[in-house]
Amino acid sequence: MFASIREMIGQKTTDSRSRAVRGAWHGGNASIRYACITTGGIATNDIVRWREEVMNQSNKPASINQERSQLINRALILNLLRQEGICSRATLSRLSGLKQATITNIAAELIQCGLVVETGLIPGEKGRRSIGVTLNDARYKVIGISMTRDQFYVDLVGISGKVYETRSFEISQTEGPQSVLSRIRTAILQLQQDYADSELLAACLAMPGPYLEDLDRLLFVTELSGWQNFPIRAVLSEGVGMPIYVLNDAKASAFAQLWSRWQEPAVQNMAYILAGQGVGCGMISDGKLVSGQHGIAGEFGHSSIKFDGPLCECGNHGCLEKYCSLSALRSEIRDLLRAHQPSCLDAGNLHDEAIALAVRAGDPVAVQAYEHVCERLGVGVISLINQMNPGLIVLGDALVDICPERLLEVVRRCVEAGVNERIYSDLAIEINQLEESPALLGAGAYAAQQVLANPGMLIYEADFRSGRASSEAT
């Protein structure tokens, strides 16, 4: 029962029953419960600032202020525990600025609902030993899913973000969206069955293409037919019994950087550029994931750099990804081979591995084509810098993997020549260093963040069970 209620509250569905449940939960003071901290990365300093703003809103009823303040304080504590791992209550008080009595009350709530557990004695403040608390991965987990054009991967992730298991599945070239999503749903249900001792609270799917969150539709996917306007979340959610979130893979990759590198100031304003079959971008601004009006912010691969260039799947002409994707690289290599340029490459065998070996071996055709494509990517990066002013740009995916060092050198050289010296001196451009797929890590982290940002339902369930048990006892 509770899982289905959570699912209806968490989803942007339109059926009347879901609207009624959401309306009942969100009505009155309960509207405050989900008004704050519902999406994206949550920087601790933002939560502290929101808490201070709440305390200054003297024109609102005290009960609403108090309830909203409780919500923000819980999210603050859960976020600190996620970042620090194991903490004493005294340390949480120092880091959050909350009184120890407030920390004690919040910890009691979170322990009662099972989100937090005590770990035993740990070194505490001023050399004193204290009882540690930490997030309860053993009881609560989430699922991260990443889909590419030929595979999908499923991670079982603790609410701390720790990955416990990864499963991979092939996708055939003839398989349509209904079949693929049905198999992903089966994989989710199998994890629920295999980990029956844990409660799986949410799942997030990261996939290529601009995804309209409010309409539950993909606008298109480069070189992947049949997915346009398909209701991904609705189909994936059938019979699963948990909230399902869908993210563009570049956004998920950016979120993975924020989640993993939260202590680095430059990550608070960064862009993750995913360059593979297409070109996408996930943006972090002031410590939060940028989504835009409909969830499709960051499609900088569809910025036109040649108004009379080739037609793109998006309907525009001369889009950036037509000039600096894997498809563009293969096309340029074929043109050079047709011109009888000397090369070890075979026009009929331009797989990623063959191109990578040729580039790294110094093959003249492979190097010329790769560097030309990297230069075009650098031109796109310059435009992004001028629009966004990030402190960090991370480059990743299949085009980067061909030869990361060479791509980074070319992009940095282009950017240095094309932006103001002062801007460039305060900018880091890097290759992705996360060991696992950033999109997959980001999907799991995003699902976990939704749980940590919205603990109210679990607390409500715990209170309900406690009240029912007390009633039955009397």
**Rg from Cα positions in the chain:** 24
Phi and psi based region of residue 125 (left: phi greater than 0; alpha: psi -120 to 50; beta: remaining)? beta
The domain 258-431 having CATH identifier 3.90.550.10: the answer here is no
> Of 1, 68, 430, 124, which Cα lies nearest the Cα of 257?
430
- Dist CA 210 CA 251 (whole Å): 10
Residue 94 has pLDDT above 60, yes or no: yes
pLDDT band at 168 (very low <50, low <70, confident <90, very high): very high
From residue 184, how far is each of 63, 143, 175, 223, 349 by CA, in Å? 43, 11, 13, 21, 31
Residue with tokens 């999210």: 75
From residue 145, how far is each of 177, 226, 345 by CA, in Å? 15, 20, 35
pLDDT number for residue 56: 53
- Consecutive H or E run containing 408: helix 404-418
Residue 140, beta-bridge partner list? 199
Highest mean pLDDT (candidates 10-19, 69-78, 382-391): 382-391
Average pLDDT, the chain: 85
Question: For a pLDDT cut of 90, what percent of the chain falls above it?
Answer: 65
pLDDT number for residue 39: 36
pLDDT number for residue 16: 43
- Dist CA 440 CA 205 (whole Å): 8
| DSSP class of 20 | H
Q: What is the CATH number of domain 36-135?
A: 1.10.10.10
274-310, pLDDT tens digit by residue?
A: 999 889 999 999 999 999 888 888 888 888 888 888 8
- Dist CA 337 CA 364 (whole Å): 11
Question: Which one is predicted more confidently, 45 or 25?
Answer: 45
Q: 292 by DSSP, 3-state: which?
A: coil
- Dist CA 203 CA 320 (whole Å): 32
180-239, pLDDT tens digit by residue?
A: 999 999 999 999 999 999 999 999 999 998 899 889 998 877 777 788 889 999 999 999
- Dist CA 362 CA 307 (whole Å): 34
Residue 273 has pLDDT above 60, yes or no: yes
| The dihedral formed by the CA atoms of 207, 209, 213 and 218, expressed in degrees to the nearest 10 | -110
Residues of the chain with CATH 3.30.420.40: 140-253, 258-431
Of 64-73, 109-118, 268-277, 304-313, where does mean pLDDT reach its minimum?
Answer: 64-73
The superfamily (CATH) of domain 140-253 is: ATPase, nucleotide binding domain (3.30.420.40)
Residue 169 has pLDDT above 50, yes or no: yes
Phi and psi based region of residue 397 (left: phi greater than 0; alpha: psi -120 to 50; beta: remaining)? left
**Tokens read off for 121:** 């004695």
**Tokens read off for 331:** 């096309």
pLDDT number for residue 296: 87
pLDDT number for residue 302: 87
Highest mean pLDDT (candidates 57-66, 156-165, 319-328): 156-165
Q: 413 by DSSP, 3-state: which?
A: helix
Residue 5 has pLDDT above 80, yes or no: no
pLDDT number for residue 125: 67
Question: Which one is predicted more confidently, 123 or 372?
Answer: 372
Q: Extract long-range pairs of 28-32: CB within 8 Å, 24+ residues apart.
A: 29/63, 29/64, 29/67, 32/64, 32/67, 32/68, 32/71
Of 36-40, 44-48, 354-358, 468-472, where does mean pLDDT reach its minimum?
Answer: 36-40
pLDDT number for residue 301: 85
pLDDT number for residue 129: 84
pLDDT band at 464 (very low <50, low <70, confident <90, very high): low
pLDDT band at 466 (very low <50, low <70, confident <90, very high): low
Q: In what order do the strands lie in the sheet with 86-88?
A: 86-88, 129-135, 116-123
408-439, pLDDT tens digit by residue?
A: 999 999 999 999 999 999 999 999 999 899 99
pLDDT number for residue 471: 52
**For strand 163-170 and strand 140-147, is the pairing parallel, antiparallel, or unpaired?**
unpaired
pLDDT number for residue 177: 93
- pLDDT average, residue stretch 114-138: 88
Question: For a pLDDT cut of 70, what percent of the chain falls above it?
Answer: 83
